[in-house]
């Protein structure tokens, strides 16, 4: 049986457009999964009902709304999210230092017993270097990710969301205790993704690079047997922990 610590490193993304299907999937995966990610689409459609379901099962929530607005608006949004009891939430680092600092202030104002992890989003895993440069970011992917991670650290955030291909350099440049959450995880036989993700690795590779948490969506939620798919990811995490950490 896998330890709770091991299972807690796998976050399942509930990117599903139907509340009943989402609840069914939560029930299927709950024996093995402790953290579920709720993104902007399901949260907009039925977010509070989903959070209520997860709270009823004592599950942890990664609220993936990627706040990016003026500092005061982000502070108020962060305060409201913290009061919902979420485990972690995220913010676009491109919002700047003052915005990220406002997020930290919002959590303090929430006055909650358990402080959520605050994560800065560096560069989306769907973006290529060319796409990044097309929006005016003229550095290399690695340099830009490190600069944004440093900004998150300076603002007092707990860590960042980054592609698995940048985990190692973030840990080297920012520090081992700085949390890195990595989406863009695929199974070994489909490591080169054909969907909208671009900078991907397998769970085993991501953990070996130093990822603290990995986020997996489609490889689990679209599987014929989601629990078996989750088990496969957990086995990859276990292998990497045993052999690389």
In CATH, what number is assigned to the domain containing residue 21? 3.20.20.70
Looking at residue 43, its pLDDT comes to 96
Closest CA to 61 of 9, 116, 114: 116
What pLDDT score does 241 carry?
A: 87
Show the tokens assigned to 96: 């700047």
Q: How many domains would you assign to the chain?
A: 1
Q: What is the pLDDT of residue 200?
A: 64
Measured from the Cβ of residue 32, the count of other Cβ atoms closer than 10 Å reads 18
Q: Residue 43: which domain range?
A: 4-244
Determine if the pTM surpasses 0.85. yes
What are 11's strand-pairing partners? 35, 215
pLDDT at 5: 42
What pLDDT, on a 0 to 100 scale, did the predictor assign at position 194? Answer: 47
- pLDDT value of residue 6: 40
In which residue ranges of the chain is pLDDT below 70? 1-7, 188-200, 244-245
User: What is the rounded distance in angstroms from the CA atom of residue 66 to the CA atom of residue 27?
Assistant: 26
Distance spanning both ends of the chain, measured CA to CA: 20
Alpha-carbon 147 to chain mean position? 19
| Cβ count near 88 (within 10 Å) | 23
Question: So which residues are the catalytic ones?
Answer: 66
Angle at 210 between CA 43 and CA 64, to 5 degrees: 10
Q: Residue 119: in which H helix or E strand, if any?
A: strand 117-121
3-class SS at 118? strand
CA–CA dist 91, 159 (Å, integer): 11
pLDDT score of 193: 45
Dist CA 67 CA 100 (whole Å): 10
């Amino acid at each position: 049986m896998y330890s709770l610590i091991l299972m807690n490193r796998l976050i399942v993304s509930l990117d599903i457009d139907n509340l009943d299907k989402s609840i069914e999937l939560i029930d299927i995966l709950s024996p093995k999964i402790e953290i579920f990610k709720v993104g902007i689409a399901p949260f907009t459609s039925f977010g509070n009902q989903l959070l209520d379901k997860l709270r009823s099962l004592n599950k942890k929530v990664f609220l993936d709304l990627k706040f990016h607005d003026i500092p005061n608006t982000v502070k108020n949004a962060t305060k409201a999210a913290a009061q919902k009891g979420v485990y972690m939430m995220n913010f676009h680092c491109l919002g700047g230092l003052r915005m990220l600092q406002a997020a930290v202030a919002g959590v303090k104002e929430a006055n909650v017993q358990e402080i959520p992890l605050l994560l800065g989003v560096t560069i989306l895993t769907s973006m290529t270097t060319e796409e990044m440069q097309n929006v005016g970011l003229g550095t290399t992917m690695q340099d830009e990710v490190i600069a944004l991670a440093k900004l998150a650290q300076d603002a007092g955030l707990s860590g960042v969301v980054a592609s698995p291909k940048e985990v190692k350099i973030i840990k080297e440049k920012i520090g081992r205790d700085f949390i890195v959450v990595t989406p863009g995880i695929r199974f070994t036989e489909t490591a080169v993704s054909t969907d909208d993700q671009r900078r991907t690795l397998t769970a085993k590779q991501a953990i070996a690079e130093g990822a603290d948490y990995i986020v997996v969506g489609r490889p689990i939620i679209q599987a014929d047997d989601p629990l078996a798919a989750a088990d496969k990811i957990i086995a990859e995490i276990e292998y990497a922990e045993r052999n690389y950490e």
